[in-house]
Amino acid sequence: MRARRGLVTPEQAGLPGGSNRRVSGLRREEVALLAGISADYYLRLERGRDRNPSPQVLQALARVLGLDDVEEQYLLGLTTSRPRRRPAPERVPQRLHSLLATIGVPAFVEGRAFDVLASNELARVFSPRLRPGQNRLRSLMLDPQEQAFQADWPAAAAGFVAAFRESIGDDVDNPRLIELVGELSLASERFRSLWARHDVRALEGGRSWVNHPLVGELRLHREKLPVDGLLLVIYYPDDTQESQDKFCLLASYAATVLT
């Protein structure tokens, strides 16, 4: 809440601005006024002293803070009481291994922390960073080759960090997640700034644009399909003949590697 109110200008909230403000974004008192709650109650919420606000209060705060539907649902989910469980090991079912071996496009399986758990040869030809054992977020933030691979790296980095926050939800005690966030916070200034924004983005497909070292610029579609608590990620070409031809080249190279 503190991070998000710092991103909302008084003008965006319908309040007068001015040059004498000592805070970026909205003051606590302004958020409370616009949400229809007391300033003292808002302070308790922001400092974590009241962990059971009503959905109505959270929805009012989401409106004031300019949260979209995904971010609002994330905020509501943070207050849902769930028993803490030791995270189960992430294992890829055999049927997914079989699917990866037979599907004719780059495909891989990733876990909650964006660890690559399994991939097919086409995916590894598409990007060496899609080998099992790699972490997609670490590659994006720390690997210069992956940064050059992304045609719009700043947008890709922002989207990955926001999707990562959505993926982990309130599982803040998970040792794997703590380790990864700590490593990236120490090594990447860009990650620190994006993580501090508390942006949230849905884990869904979309369009990708990359600079591939073998076939050059490549525009493609990306689908993310949930399976047994994991995500099956599939890349396939868009409708242009150029993209389809380049995918054929990648498939031919992958077949040569396998041979």
Is residue 167 within a helix (H) or strand (E), and if so which, with residue range?
helix 153-168
Within a domain: residue 157? Answer: yes
Same domain assignment for residues 99 and 162: yes
Beta bridge partners of 233: 108, 224
Residue 57: the pLDDT is 93
Residue 134: the pLDDT is 96
Residues 223-228: contacts with CB within 8 Å, 24+ apart?
Answer: 227/93, 227/96, 227/109, 228/93
Same domain assignment for residues 124 and 66: no
Residue 80: the pLDDT is 66
Residue 81: the pLDDT is 59
Q: What is the pLDDT of residues 127-159, one digit of tens each?
A: 999 999 999 999 999 999 999 999 999 999 999
Domain edge (last residue) among 25, 53, 78: 78
- Which CATH number covers residue 172? 3.30.450.180
Residue 135: the pLDDT is 97
The token duo for 4 is 């998000």
- Kindly give the parts of the chain with pLDDT less than 70: 18-19, 80-87, 257-259
Within a domain: residue 32? Answer: yes
Domain edge (last residue) among 78, 112, 140: 78
In the DSSP assignment, the letter for residue 226 is E
Same domain assignment for residues 152 and 249: yes
| R_g over Cα of the chain | 21
In the DSSP assignment, the letter for residue 100 is H
Domain edge (last residue) among 78, 109, 139: 78
